[in-house]
Amino acid sequence: MDPVIVGILGSGLLFFLLIIGMPIAFSLMFVGFVGVSYLASIGAALPMIARSVYESSSHYPYTVIPLFIVMGGYAGISGLSRDLYNTFDKWLRKLPGGLGMATIAACAGFAAISGSSVAAAATMGTVAYPEMRRFNYSPRLASGTVAAGGTLAFLIPPSLGFVVYGMLAQESIGKLLISGIFPGLILAGAYIAILYCLVKIYPDWAPLVAGTVSFREKLTALKGIWETVAIFLLVIGGIYFGIFTPNEAAGVGATTLFLTAILKRKLTWETLLASLQETVRISVMVLFLVAAANVFSYFLALSMIPMKVSSWIIGLGVSRYVVLIIIILIYLLLGCFLDAISMMVLTLPVILPVMATLKFDPIWFGVVCVIMMEAGLITPPMGLNVFTVAAIAKDTSLEEIFKGALPFLVAMLMVTFLITLFPQIALYLPGMMGR
């Protein structure tokens, strides 16, 4: 049978297994095993699976995943999220929708020391959502702001999204992490702009907070962000200036946050064990997904589907930006049904060769890809951040939270359009590394 036909049948089998509920990693590995056994031999398929699982769990650069995840756990334990929120609250509360703006700014700050969007949404939800509701903010606006703000942790380094993309695309994880700084800050600003517009259109959603905050109080409040800034500069600055590798930087960041939690007397055996258990759970899930993706990618390479798809797209004779728009629309659709890591694992083996053929910079496309993965965190019906916030916002329905978060998709599309027009927004800092 023609290898391309085998590849198409294998892809169809994969989607069938996903529809009937088989876990994504097992589906990828099973289809990859069957496909490689048919196109090569079972003697080649079995060692390949063993090698993929072993390399994913033992390859030294991949230790950055659990270290970045545990950083987020220790950051939550240390109470830095509340300090960030209190600081930005003092500076922004008098603006229209000021508490919401403070929430987004605090989410961006927390993202700088945490690589998990779900952890960011959960941590900031417990801090910011009750405060916004106390001042009669609309449940839709308050919950949607927290859910959207939490997505910033997937883009602003240290980002788990860039780590997984780098593993799958075989690109520098350090450069990918640095590439997310400017787009992440611009996206946070775009979120605030969207929030401002919503409050102007619906002023009853965010009543102005009574009382005044003196300039002295504002200056005093700045002490609440110095720890976060210092850790961010230590970790990301260390990567940028070549002082640390990403793994070393993650280890330094995790250790610093661990000591911070101890010094602030926030660390208990219960919180420590819960943080470590969550780190193990997410790390095993991600690494097994990557191992399965490697098996499936090998099968696709044997079937020559990526090459055929690339040749077909080139033969269409359309602008490469038309292809990019189609890919973005596909990601928006997939985000309604799959989590971010699964989307990467399923699509990149086919899409990366297409991007290479169209001569898109892989670092730049990594930023676009991560922003689209962010979108999937707040799109119905499977937005993980929305479900996380729903567990905190007991007085708000899932439907209301989705409605509150969806306007922020406009900001993601705006930033994607902006970095497409001006790629140097994402590429300038990585290009300066090592100089």
The pLDDT, as a whole number, for residue 362 is 95
The whole-number average pLDDT for the span 13-23 is 88
Contact 7, 305 (CB under 8 A): yes
Contact 299, 65 (CB under 8 A): no
DSSP-assigned letter for residue 180: T
- pLDDT over 90 (residue 401): yes
* pLDDT level of residue 140 (50, 70, 90 thresholds): very high
The pLDDT, as a whole number, for residue 406 is 94
76 burial level (CB within 10 Å; 0-12, 13-18, 19+): buried
The pLDDT, as a whole number, for residue 278 is 86
The pLDDT, as a whole number, for residue 18 is 85
pLDDT tens-digit series, residues 306-317? 888 878 877 777
Residue whose token pair is 């044997």: 302
Query: Taking all residues of the chain, what is their mean pLDDT, rounded to a whole number?
Result: 89
The pLDDT, as a whole number, for residue 94 is 83
* Torsional class of 157: left (φ above 0), alpha (ψ -120 to 50), beta (otherwise): beta
Three-state SS for 337? coil
* pLDDT level of residue 428 (50, 70, 90 thresholds): very high
* pLDDT level of residue 214 (50, 70, 90 thresholds): confident
The pLDDT, as a whole number, for residue 79 is 84
Question: 60 vs 245, which has greater pLDDT?
Answer: 245
Q: How far apart are CA 225 and CA 48, in angstroms?
A: 48
Which range is least confidently modeled, 114-118, 361-365, 411-415?
114-118
Q: How far apart are CA 337 and CA 342, in angstroms?
A: 10
The pLDDT, as a whole number, for residue 235 is 93
80 burial level (CB within 10 Å; 0-12, 13-18, 19+): buried
The whole-number average pLDDT for the span 324-353 is 88
Which range is least confidently modeled, 94-108, 111-125, 253-267?
111-125
Contact 82, 124 (CB under 8 A): no
Percent of the chain with pLDDT over 70: 100
Q: How far apart are CA 338 and CA 331, in angstroms?
A: 10
The amino acid that residue 108 corresponds to is A
- CA distance readout (Å), 340 to 22, 150, 172, 331: 17, 14, 20, 10
* pLDDT level of residue 3 (50, 70, 90 thresholds): confident
Percent of the chain with pLDDT over 90: 44
Q: How far apart are CA 369 and CA 390, in angstroms?
A: 26
pTM: 0.90
Q: Hey, what are 435's tokens?
A: 């100089």
103 burial level (CB within 10 Å; 0-12, 13-18, 19+): buried
- pLDDT over 90 (residue 119): no
Contact 154, 110 (CB under 8 A): no
The whole-number average pLDDT for the span 69-81 is 86
pLDDT tens-digit series, residues 252-275? 999 999 999 999 888 889 988 988
- pLDDT over 80 (residue 136): yes
Q: How far apart are CA 223 and CA 289, in angstroms?
A: 41
* pLDDT level of residue 425 (50, 70, 90 thresholds): very high
The whole-number average pLDDT for the span 57-75 is 84
- pLDDT over 80 (residue 95): yes
* pLDDT level of residue 435 (50, 70, 90 thresholds): low
The pLDDT, as a whole number, for residue 434 is 66
Distance from chain centroid for Cα 169: 16
* pLDDT level of residue 293 (50, 70, 90 thresholds): confident
The pLDDT, as a whole number, for residue 72 is 84
Q: Hey, what are 47's tokens?
A: 């060692």
312 burial level (CB within 10 Å; 0-12, 13-18, 19+): exposed
The pLDDT, as a whole number, for residue 417 is 96
